[in-house]
Structure 1
Amino acid sequence: MLLDGISFKNTGYFSSLICDYLDENPRLKPFYNRFPNLDNFKEQIEEKASSFSLESRLTLVKALKNQYRKVETSELTLSHIDALQTENTFTITTGHQLNLFTGPLYFLYKIVSAINLSKDLKEAYPDYNFVPVYWMATEDHDFEEINYFNFNGKKVQWNRTAEGPVGELSTDGLDDVFNLFALELGNSKNAEYLKELFKSAYLEHDNLADATRYLANELFKDYGLVIIDANDKVLKQELIPFIKEELFNNTSFTNVTETSEQLNAVNNDYTIQVNPREINVFYIKEGLRERIVFENERFSVLNTNLAWTKAEIEQELNEFPERFSPNVITRPLYQEVILPNLCYIGGGGELAYWFQLKQFFNKVNVPFPVLLLRNSVLVETESQHKKLQNLNISTNDIFLKQSTFINKKVREISNIDIDFSAQKETLQKQFEDLYALAEQTDKSFLGAVKAQEVKQIKGLEHLEKRLLKAQKKALADQVSRMTDLQNELFPNQSLQERNTNFSQFYLEYGKLLIPELIKHLNPLNKEFSLLKL
């Protein structure tokens, strides 16, 4: 059941850029197309429909059918793939790395957001079809980011060397990971399902892309999820003119750099998420993924002997488009070129770099999608929920940083008032009189008065901390219970969704887990949700 919600701003875990976006700060309007509400999708549909050709639809369906030829999926997913051939069908897309066994919980929340938004749009616009899509980041090469997941406070890790796109990595060696994970799971009915799921995904598929496709399909096929691997020659043929633009005109570098400067001018607190290079394309081939650079009138691939003239690299691109791989700057463009997409759903960090891309999209004449912050969730078990109630811990309390949280709760439950705010305010008012006296007599004493004020305020603060420490000791049992509870809900004092793997909750809730998320999460809700499952 949905327990409560808290604004993203009040969680303390989201940037000022994302909070301003959710508040629809007008100064951010130049950096996105349309804000995510149901009414705004009408114009988004019209814009995308006018720019996405039937030929591109047929190319997309051809590639998807080839990718699904060995996948046992649902009739709904197959019907969604077929529907993409028709001009009244659009996609709602989220993307994620190929994390081992899905990685952190927000993998689920991203896809649930895409599924539920597709449903909401179908109700609002019944003449159109909306297909939820999971874009597998098969071309990424940062293996260290994806080779583990956290289960019951332990790191389950795949140790091996890896080069090139992760989607092409052999699954050899994952049997050792399976054996260790199986021991941790136990022997319950839900544990046996998780073992079979891991085994079928990783021990019965040859590479990480196929394994991840199998896994995501098993979890979400009943909801018609379509999974796409863009590391595909058929699809990359669509990108050829945009890669040429990137190689020869450095279009993204110029436009993204300008946009980043404009974002900084709006607010210095906005962290620039990515910095463009002059060429934002990698070259991939047989375990290789390295940047393409232009030096000494030749295009070359870093850390290799590969090099071409302008005519030669153009020929290479035309003959082998699959060897050219977009980076974080150009991948979003690739997505919007090959999909009839209306909306991209991502986390705060992802949306932050999408805001840097609007001018670039305008320049290459590709419609910019609606940007939606994915659902964020804190899941409480029945036991944890009861403990929160018994300890009188509110939603706002539990999101506080631990030291602030404990200090606040100790003050609340203590029989002694250990808040010296009133005393410090009185002291500051007394010093105002001393400042006035020094002004009238000898201004050289102002520094001495200030020093005395600082000393006495610090003295009060020191005494307050000592008394608070003593009271914590007197209330050690309650402090311990509150600390333990917050640590359970915020592993490593971070958001649960960024740390815990879904398997930890599947052990308890089994097949109810995903349907309950589908049932209770509203993709257009602008709050962080708390759920008791």
Structure 2
Amino acid sequence: MDMDSLPFDQTGYFSDFICDYIAQKEGVRPFFSRFPTLENFQDQLQEKATHFPDAHREVLYSVLQEQYKDFHVSEETEVHLKKLKEPITFTVVTGHQLNLFTGPLYFLYKIISTINLTLELKKAHPKYNYVPVYWMATEDHDFDEINYFNFKGKKIQWNPDNGQSGAVGRFDTQGLVEVYETFAAQLGGSTHAKDIKKLFEKAYLGHDNLADATRYLANELFGSYGLVIIDGDDHRLKRLLVPYAKKDILENVAYKEVTGTISALGQTDPNYLIQVNPRKINYFYLKDGVRSRIVEREGSFYVLDTAIGFSRDELVKELENHPERFSPNVIARPLYQEVILPNLCYIGGGGEIAYWLELKSMFGAMDVPFPILLLRNSALVITEKQRAKLEKMNLSVADLFLRRSSFINKKIREISNIDIDFGPQKKLLEEQFKALYEMAEQTDKSFLGAVRAQEVKQKKGLDHLEKRLLKAQKRKLKEQVMRMTEIQNELFPNGSLQERYLNFSELYLEMGENLIPVLMKALRPLELKFALINV
């Protein structure tokens, strides 16, 4: 395996906000507490240790024991589960939706980043223990976002016809037999294909709901590395959230704090995209297949699109008696995670880190330590065959990150036997018009506008000629253009990063059980660069 890397800001696929965060630009500093360096984790450890009650550890351990009771638990995960009861043990967390068969490839990158960071922390701060945790987003209700994955350019999709709704983790896996058969038919009969079929079958046909199926899958892939998988849809864990839910629902603390932060971000840089906007109440009501927003009107509380309503006292009673019926949204869920876990760091994609950066003030108002935020590893995996194609066409991987038209135009100019850069001609034209401007100044200044119009006209003419010549060369070099387009499509399917489109099964077909060890070795979470991995 050979590897290289690119700075994130040179890929063209990451927002200014995230690139500025990585660069620790002064304007972004107020929105995070500590930057992800090994040295900064020492202070994070001390802060979390003084703010995480031992009683929460007992609840956490008890819940995890129950959640794992029907699953094979590796020796490594068993050790981690037991260590979570100890006050010197802390977690590193990533979260993800319950995408069918993991969804895009970056599901693996998130978890590998999390595991690898715990290993680095153990070396740097050895007197503490570190547990990698995958938080399953079992309470999401955006089923259309997770009910498919891409395989060899086709969408493998699950469309249950039993009218399920509400939290996706509770969805019955009925109907996935047909999905399995469709997928299996496209995999072929190789040894690696058989392994993939077995994994899909045992996960989705061997479990009754989507949460259990996803736990099985993640456990099979990463159990040997000690990954701990948690489902927040539990009444005992939710009970720990009750005091914070009250502040959100009754006092609108989260709304006020995050709204203020969004305003401050806009003043820092108007081009920073706001990922999520807070609501007055950031909780859903979750019961009997319903997950609908709670809203307040004139002192009473209602569940949207239902006949359910509460007075203030009734709502407090419901929250205290049935905390499992209150489901945090995208604003409140990060707080929930930090309340129930002895967590040091959250690892997420660019969009996730951007919305976490909106939350620091809210955490302060709730008196909960704000975690270190780390952008997950990103990577482009290049096979030996693909590398040979690139070398034959004299293409650099950096070229492939360009948008299609820029990529083709750049390479056509490089391989063409004539110079298609009219830059020198434009410079000569500017020098000629400089003399005309001077002449107009000395004779009749009213001619300056006419001279300027003529300059613009002639420059446009050169631009037009340059484009026509480039187009003619593209036709002449049609075969080369086609080959370059093909390799870019292979590595950037659908015009997107490989990791956001490809399912891990395509790489597994080629690499088999070596896939995850190769990625484990290649992905370095604190390097903060885009990895280029040759396999």
Tell me the distance in 1 between the aligned counterparts of 2:290 and 2:135. 21
The within-5 A match list for 1:356-395 is 356-395=358-397
Determine if contact 1:61/1:85 at 8 Å carries over to the other structure.
yes
Counterpart residue number, 1:116:
116
Tell me the distance in 2 between the aligned counterparts of 1:267 and 1:128. 39
Determine if contact 1:298/1:308 at 8 Å carries over to the other structure.
yes
Counterpart residue number, 1:283:
285
Q: Which amino acid aligns with 1:53?
A: P
Answering whether residue 422 of structure 2 is matched by residue 420 of structure 1, we say: yes
Counterpart residue number, 1:141:
141
Tell me the distance in 2 between the aligned counterparts of 1:315 and 1:120. 45
Aligned-pair CA distance for 1:431: 2.6
Tell me the distance in 1 between the aligned counterparts of 2:355 and 2:293. 20
Counterpart residue number, 1:335:
337
Task: Tell me the secondary structure at the aligned position of residue 455 of structure 1.
Answer: helix
Q: Which is further off, 21-30 or 371-380?
A: 21-30
Q: Which amino acid aligns with 1:262?
A: A
Aligned-pair CA distance for 1:480: 0.9
Tell me the distance in 1 between the aligned counterparts of 2:294 and 2:509. 46
Tell me the distance in 1 between the aligned counterparts of 2:338 and 2:444. 71
Aligned-pair CA distance for 1:440: 4.0
Tell me the distance in 2 between the aligned counterparts of 1:382 and 1:179. 31
Aligned-pair CA distance for 1:335: 0.5
Aligned-pair CA distance for 1:422: 1.6
Structure-2 change in CA distance of 1:362 and 1:222 (3 Å): same
Task: Tell me the secondary structure at the aligned position of residue 38 of structure 1.
Answer: coil
Counterpart residue number, 2:455:
453
Aligned-pair CA distance for 1:212: 0.3
Task: Tell me the secondary structure at the aligned position of residue 373 of structure 2.
Answer: strand
TM-score with structure 1 setting the length: 0.99
Tell me the distance in 1 between the aligned counterparts of 2:404 and 2:351. 24
Counterpart residue number, 1:156:
156
The within-5 A match list for 1:49-448 is 49-160=49-160, 161-448=163-450
Aligned-pair CA distance for 1:433: 3.3
Q: Which amino acid aligns with 1:356?
A: E
Structure-2 change in CA distance of 1:432 and 1:282 (3 Å): farther
Tell me the distance in 1 between the aligned counterparts of 2:31 and 2:164. 37
Kindly report structure 1 stretches of 4+ aligned residues shifted beyond 2 Å.
Answer: 428-451
User: Which structure 1 residue ranges, 5 or more long, are not aligned?
Assistant: none
Tell me the distance in 2 between the aligned counterparts of 1:456 and 1:28. 45
Q: Which amino acid aligns with 2:184?
A: A
Determine if contact 1:472/1:479 at 8 Å carries over to the other structure.
yes
Q: Deviations over 1:334-383 (max 9, x none)?
A: 00000000000000000000010011111111000000000000000110
Q: Deviations over 1:197-226 (max 9, x none)?
A: 101111111110000000000000000000
Task: Tell me the secondary structure at the aligned position of residue 393 of structure 1.
Answer: coil
Q: Which amino acid aligns with 2:14?
A: F
Counterpart residue number, 1:479:
481
Structure-2 change in CA distance of 1:49 and 1:438 (3 Å): same
Tell me the distance in 2 between the aligned counterparts of 1:448 and 1:427. 16
Q: Deviations over 1:30-76 (max 9, x none)?
A: 10010001000000000000100100111111111110011102011
Determine if contact 1:91/1:341 at 8 Å carries over to the other structure.
yes
Tell me the distance in 2 between the aligned counterparts of 1:35 and 1:432. 52
Q: Deviations over 1:266-286 (max 9, x none)?
A: 111100111111111111111
Q: Which amino acid aligns with 2:360?
A: K
Tell me the distance in 2 between the aligned counterparts of 1:320 and 1:255. 27
Aligned-pair CA distance for 1:493: 0.9
Task: Tell me the secondary structure at the aligned position of residue 121 of structure 1.
Answer: helix
Q: Which amino acid aligns with 1:390?
A: K
Q: Which amino acid aligns with 1:22?
A: I
Aligned-pair CA distance for 1:26: 1.8
Structure 1 residue aligned with 2:526, among 495, 502, 524? 524
Structure-2 change in CA distance of 1:437 and 1:43 (3 Å): same
Tell me the distance in 2 between the aligned counterparts of 1:33 and 1:162. 41
Q: Deviations over 1:177-207 (max 9, x none)?
A: 0000000101111101110110111111111
Tell me the distance in 1 between the aligned counterparts of 2:502 and 2:430. 47
Q: Which is further off, 203-212 or 154-163?
A: 154-163
The share of aligned pairs that are identical, in percent, is 59
Determine if contact 2:3/2:522 at 8 Å carries over to the other structure.
no
Tell me the distance in 1 between the aligned counterparts of 2:34 and 2:169. 33
Counterpart residue number, 1:505:
507
Q: Which amino acid aligns with 2:371?
A: P
What do you get for the CA RMSD once the two structures are aligned?
Answer: 1.0
Structure-2 change in CA distance of 1:475 and 1:78 (3 Å): same
Tell me the distance in 1 between the aligned counterparts of 2:5 and 2:228. 30
**Aligned residues between the structures:** 533
Determine if contact 1:4/1:395 at 8 Å carries over to the other structure.
no
Task: Tell me the secondary structure at the aligned position of residue 33 of structure 1.
Answer: coil
The within-5 A match list for 1:489-500 is 489-500=491-502
Tell me the distance in 1 between the aligned counterparts of 2:277 and 2:449. 46
Aligned-pair CA distance for 1:473: 1.4
Q: Deviations over 1:467-526 (max 9, x none)?
A: 111111111111111110000000011100000000000000000000110111111112
Q: Which amino acid aligns with 1:480?
A: M
Q: Which is further off, 439-448 or 272-281?
A: 439-448
Determine if contact 1:116/1:518 at 8 Å carries over to the other structure.
yes
Answering whether residue 28 of structure 2 is matched by residue 28 of structure 1, we say: yes
Determine if contact 2:173/2:204 at 8 Å carries over to the other structure.
yes
